[in-house]
Chain A
């Protein structure tokens, strides 16, 4: 028990230091904030025009759509899939993973801790500011029931966790291909589409939405946001969160397996 709490302290320290490290780049952050807004505006204008032209009622109202994309801009930076990636991600590519392995730490846990610190930083420095400014300019829906907020927070945390687990899995392919552009690049396109990041899954044609529901990636964006918007309610919330948990376990296990296998055949790049 004592050793468990000591181990926890180590990774907690990693989270803290990871956070501190990002704090050194606060100016760059302001520039990033502007970029977030630019993309938010593009999304909002496109959907406003789109909604003005449609007469048939849509599954999501314009306000809900705007809220969805505000949440997108708030949260995508917290996920290593889309946000700026930490150096751990490039560790396999440039061989610095070797240095990590000379320390008595679990690599996957270190990676998670580092990403958690990163997520905290971006939540504070990017997520909250983006949200607050958005409230001033747009009609952003805010859930009235505290239970919805609780469910959303849990679901969002699971989404961030899963994005880490998926990233590790994808980058573990680097042990085999020694290349971190091909497979990751292709995976990003697929994941970005099926997470609902570009178009909420509710607006998809039936057959494609059906595919998305069977894939894990809706758990990154669509599930937490749908909970926030009250599109998933009651028992469905539990099922959705259960799904996220299941996929989390799956990817953590797969990532762990690939990392272990990968290390045993590690070729350190650059000798």
Chain B
């Protein structure tokens, strides 16, 4: 369904001169630096899969999505979606994909939702029967009927997102690209959108590529995840495998009574240090939380201490700070201890 082979994208970032003459001079300016946004990424996605495409901010997620949707032209490598080359056959490709950018609305800001939908019906040439059927179905699942006549600018964020997702599916696309579809939403709204995506995927065999920073999204929706960091592919596989790798890492935050010059503890890495506050990363496989706290208490006076599972951003960062760590872990046999996790 989606084939990405050795895909790279570099941007030239130009040095900007300010002001009236400056902007004119910018036309001829050749001062720039090269930024590698996506670096030789390859993967394939089969029909009906839901894939979480994850990575920290600036990792290259959106750039990849934009190449898959035909907005950006790759610097090298190849992409096909549905057999189309998105940037060469932009309009053809666009007929078979649906796109939602959580941060921006596709709907016409000052038109009622209904009018936006009618415009989309024309744009995608959706037959009346199919259009009515879809609108009814989306109303049932997302209650878009509640605000169908309301101008988009007056919608709440949750309503707008529901409308946006429905709009992206009106023409029965084969692939749905969701770029942070739950950003800024409350728990109820998130759950509703997740359910909807699941249902659409199950009933219509829509392939879904999802980028998100929300670990819950990933857990509820994706069997498979692709992790990228710093423009490179770091992991492609089952979420379960990833979770096994990641859940071994914990973060221990300690507020010391004073700022000690050397706070290093065996079998724990310092990931953050500012004044008397220090964060350690450790693996419960190597050292138990109790032993670690014991070791700290022996050496230093503490004010407060807490253990937390790192969030997805941190996990990705910590695990892939050192690519070797991941590779080593992937080849390690799964110990019964971690399986129970």
Contact = CB atoms under 8 A, between A and B. Distances in A.
Contacts of B72: 266, 268
Interface stretch (A9-17, A61-69, A213-221, A229-237): A9-17
Contacts of A254: none
Contacts, number: 95
Q: What's the interface size class on A, roughly?
A: 35 or more
Interface stretch (B118-126, B140-148, B251-259, B312-320): B118-126
Contact of A105 (B16, B63, B91, B111): B91
Contacts of B23: 177, 179, 181-183
A264 B87 CA distance: 8
Interface stretch (A42-50, A74-82, A93-101, A196-204): A93-101
Interface string A8-51: 01100110010011001100000000000000000000000000
A223 B76 CA distance: 49
B26 A179 contact: yes
Q: What's the interface size class on B, roughly?
A: 35 or more
B219 interface: no
Contacts of A6: 125
A24 B151 contact: yes
Interface in B282-324: none
Contacts of A25: 110
Interface in A144-169: none
Contacts of A101: 69-71, 90, 94
Given A179-B16, A185-B20, A268 B66 contact: yes
B77 interface: no
A186 interface: yes
A103 interface: yes
Given A20-B115, A104-B123, A99 B24 contact: no
Nearest to A23: B110
Contacts of B16: 178-179
Contact of B27 (A13, A173, A268): A173
B97 interface: yes
A271 interface: yes
B26 A104 contact: no
B160 to A, nearest CB: 14
Interface of A is mostly: helix
Interface string B53-76: 000001000110010011111000
B11 interface: yes
A102 interface: yes
B91, B104, B122 — most chain A CB neighbours (10 Å): B122
A24 B110 contact: yes
Contact of A182 (B19, B87, B106, B122): B19
Contacts of A139: none
Contacts of B69: 101-102
Nearest to A3: B125
A142 interface: no
A87 B104 CA distance: 14
A182 B70 contact: no
A183 B115 CA distance: 36
A185 B72 CA distance: 28
B109 to A, nearest CB: 7
B172 to A, nearest CB: 14
Given A104-B123, A267-B11, A186 B71 contact: no
Nearest to A173: B27
Contacts of B122: 9-10, 13
Contacts of A102: 69-71, 94, 97, 99, 106
A99 B98 CA distance: 11
Contacts of A179: 16, 23, 26
Interface in B143-165: 151
A179 B111 CA distance: 28
A92 to B, nearest CB: 13
A128 interface: no
A165 B115 CA distance: 27
A267 to B, nearest CB: 6
Contacts of A103: 94, 106, 123-124
A182 B26 CA distance: 10
A178 B11 CA distance: 13
Contacts of B73: 263-266
A21, A177, A263 — most chain B CB neighbours (10 Å): A177
A17 B151 contact: no
A268 B71 contact: yes
B124 A266 contact: no
Given A20-B115, A186-B20, A104 B94 contact: yes
Interface in A74-127: 87, 96, 98-99, 101-106
A87 B109 CA distance: 10
Interface string A169-211: 0000100111101110110000000000000000000000000
A97 to B, nearest CB: 9
13 contacts: A13-B118, A13-B122, A17-B108, A96-B104, A98-B66, A99-B104, A101-B69, A101-B70, A101-B71, A104-B91, A178-B16, A181-B23, A271-B63
CB-CB nearest 5 A-B residue pairs:
A182-B23, A104-B94, A102-B99, A104-B91, A13-B122
Interface of A: 6, 9-10, 13-14, 17, 20-21, 24-25, 87, 96, 98-99, 101-106, 173, 176-179, 181-183, 185-186, 263-268, 271
Given A177-B23, A268-B66, 10 more contacts: A10-B125, A13-B119, A24-B110, A99-B106, A101-B70, A176-B26, A176-B27, A179-B26, A266-B73, A267-B11
